[in-house]
Amino acid sequence: MLGGFPSMWRYSLFLGWLSAAPFRPPFLKRNKMIRASVWSILLSVCVLILLLWKRHPSIQHQTSTSDNVRNTNSDVPVLFESSDTATVNFTQSIPVLVIACKRTSVKRTLDALLKYRTNLISPKSASFPITVSQGCPHQPTANVLASYGSKISLIKFEMPPMRPQNITKMKMGYQMIAHHYKKALDYMFLEVNHSVVIVVEDDLDIAPDFFEYFVATLPLLYSDPSLFCVSAWNDNGRPQLIDPKRIDLIYRSDFFSGLGWMLIRKIWLEVRENWPDIFWDDYLRQPEVRKDRACLRPEVGRTKTFGRFGVSKGQYFAKYLESMHLNQNSFGFTKQDLSYLLEPSYTGSWLHTVYKEAFEISPSKLYTKQFPAENKLKPLRITYESDEEFVGIASRLTLMTDSRSGVMRNAFRGVVPIYWGDRRIYIAPPTNWKGYDWSQSWTKRKFNFPT
């Protein structure tokens, strides 16, 4: 504890030993003046130590550190709970990594990040340094990025040629993206040594409380090992499928969404080891990678994509993504108690709500909105017996119908929640559900090019 004053303490103890009876040396016994001087020096040293101790209270908490150059926990927040609220005490930073290539419209994303990163309800001291990683040599985009000067940090990676003769341009694009993510995240976690990173694509709009959402959920990500990530995206976040008034609501999901997401260093060190050559997002959805961990996601999305064209050639954009609802009203997540999202209580509460509190209704009555009249606030449950039956229900209700590694978008324990016809509805498997069909491997993702 007193690592700052080892010599002073040894000197004080030595003087005390010299003057202590009956072990005083003979020359001290014969000379009272010398003994008095020794006591005077000893008293002065003790007073000096006490004054320094009081003036520098931080010394009281000194501990030995490892040989690491950087403290990897420097941007870790602490969650303080009181009887009725939970407040985040966050005084460091959450770095933001923007993945860019050849979209000059990245300016739209950067302008929003710069605008809203100071829009925190609490705490005001949090900061969000922005690093942009450009993964391809596109000069118009490079010029846009350079115009921000010191407002952002800029890194560039030269991607090696990866296109054999039998590989299409589209597949090569997905390969480059996977390689870019690996290099950029390695830079953030291994070279710069951050503890946490928010990943943002170059075609995202963000909500005013985007940063508030991540600051509030980060302590949960650190404290609960059953969490994998936090996402600002709702895969079924179109207006007819959400309750726009519930901007406070956050769910657990077994589906990794991406599109504005946060991960911590521990998770990156784990998943980077077997990073794929292609389809990095589907790799993270594999059961052996996710390991039954969940991501957090909002009822009302805090991100929305405006990227109609890209490597995916606008897949899903017109049908699903263009009409996604983006929250416009800030909510004070950091002032709320979010402990309801933690295990082991969340799953039990979730299953109780779905199977005990919700009123079961047939598909035909649901589609025609023949809802029970006795309790209009009571949630409803519609049951699917197979993946094929789920696809039929999802298609009828205009949800995204696909799944990855057997997991439906937004599903938690097989249940997909929506808000439809002014009612909370759970699309759920039967109570004897055995789990997801993992045989739907991520490697079976279908595109029109050679594998």
Specify whether the CB–CB gap between 113 and 216 falls below 8 A.
no
Report pLDDT for 171.
86
Which residues are identified as catalytic?
A: 281
Task: Give per-residue pLDDT as tens, 52-93.
Answer: 444 333 323 322 222 222 333 344 444 333 333 344 555 568
Report the distance separating Cα 281 and Cα 212, nearest Å.
25
Task: Give per-residue pLDDT as tens, 138-186.
Answer: 999 999 999 999 999 999 987 666 556 566 777 888 999 999 999 999 9
* % of the chain residues with pLDDT over 70: 72
Q: What is the CATH number of domain 355-444?
A: 3.10.180.20
Task: Give per-residue pLDDT as tens, 261-276.
Answer: 999 999 999 999 999 9
Domains of the chain, residue spans: 6-61, 78-345, 355-444
The pTM for the full model equals 0.79
The residue-averaged pLDDT of 341-363 equals: 98
Is CATH 3.90.550.10 what the domain over 78-345 is classified as, yes or no?
A: yes
Report the distance separating Cα 221 and Cα 237, nearest Å.
23
Task: Give per-residue pLDDT as tens, 391-436.
Answer: 999 999 999 999 999 999 999 999 999 999 999 999 999 999 999 9
From the number of C-beta atoms within 10 Å of its C-beta (0-12, 13-18, 19+), residue 353 rates as: middle
Report the distance separating Cα 88 and Cα 81, nearest Å.
9
Which residues, in sequence order, are bridge partners of residue 305?
A: 204
For residue 438, pLDDT over 80 is answered with yes
